[in-house]
């Protein structure tokens, strides 16, 4: 249909534009047209036998990467195992800081090339900043926002869905909107902004998918 074609064209324009911005901010960014191309690109970046960690991401889940990593020739720090959160999963989170590769999504990308993320435990935002030798971020064009204020607003809007998805008992899973709660199960505890990739150039690679994917 002509509408679908125009939407696809618009998304591709968005992807190309943000990639140019991110590359100017010293990230290594590229774009693909769809989720299958993204999967091939990401797997092509991984080295056989490498240790790989993964950050919580519906985008990566939709790509089927967890099962691929479990069954592939990698040392996979599998945070999705059916284990008690403390201490077993926390131990996996700590080991993930030493991984050769971190695969993750991002909550928002501003048109200034800033990566904005909010975490429950910090096991995703911490290794994005420092630890793993390589960081690969995958994001759909729906993650692109105008500015930091819009990024924070986007995070508040998606937080109830993420909290519901991971079965956290928070007020937003009842109301459907953020109430800036103060409860043990709160998922919005740590917020980071990565302004650029200049400190360790080449460490953070970003794959933009010219589709809406994930939250």
For 123-135, how does the pLDDT look when each residue is reduced to its tens digit (9 = 90+)? 999 999 999 999 9
Radius of gyration for the alpha carbons in the chain, expressed in angstroms and rounded:
17
Query: pLDDT higher for 187 or 166?
Result: 187
| Lookup: tokens for 185 | 């199960």
Alpha helices in the chain (DSSP H): 2-24, 35-45, 58-62, 65-71, 90-96, 125-129, 148-165, 172-175
Residue 212's closest CA among 3, 2, 14?
A: 14
Share of the chain above pLDDT 90, in %: 67
Backbone dihedral angles phi then psi of residue 159, each to the nearest 5 degrees: -55, -45
Output the pLDDT for position 84: 61
Q: List the single range of 72-76, 82-86, 105-109, 205-209 with lowest mean pLDDT.
A: 82-86
For 74-94, how does the pLDDT look when each residue is reduced to its tens digit (9 = 90+)? 999 988 776 566 667 888 889
Output the pLDDT for position 203: 98
Q: What is the pTM of this model?
A: 0.94
Residue 189's closest CA among 212, 149, 162, 150?
A: 162
- Delineate the domains of the chain, giving CATH numbers in brackets: 2-209 (3.40.50.10420)
The answer to whether the beta carbons of residues 98 and 50 sit under 8 Å apart is no
């Amino acid at each position: 249909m002509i509408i679908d074609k125009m939407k696809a064209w618009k998304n591709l324009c968005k992807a190309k534009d943000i990639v140019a911005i991110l590359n100017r901010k010293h990230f290594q960014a590229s774009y693909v047209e769809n989720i299958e191309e993204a999967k091939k690109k990401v797997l092509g970046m991984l080295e056989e036998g490498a240790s790989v960690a993964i950050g919580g991401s519906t985008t990566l889940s939709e790509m089927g990467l967890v099962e691929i990593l479990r069954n592939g020739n990698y040392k996979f720090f599998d945070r999705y195992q059916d284990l008690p959160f403390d201490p077993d999963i926390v131990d996996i989170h700590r080991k993930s800081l030493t991984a050769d590769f971190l695969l993750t999504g991002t909550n928002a990308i501003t048109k200034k090339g800033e990566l904005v993320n909010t975490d429950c435990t910090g096991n995703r935002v911490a290794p994005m900043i420092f630890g793993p030798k390589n960081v690969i971020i995958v994001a759909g064009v729906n993650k692109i926002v105008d500015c930091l204020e819009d990024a924070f607003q986007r995070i508040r809007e998606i937080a109830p869905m993420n909290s519901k998805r991971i079965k956290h008992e928070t007020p937003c899973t009842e109301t459907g909107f953020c109430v800036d709660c103060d409860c043990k199960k709160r998922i919005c505890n740590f917020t980071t902004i990565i302004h650029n990739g200049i400190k360790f150039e080449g460490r953070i690679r970003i794959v933009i998918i010219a589709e809406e994917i994930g939250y």
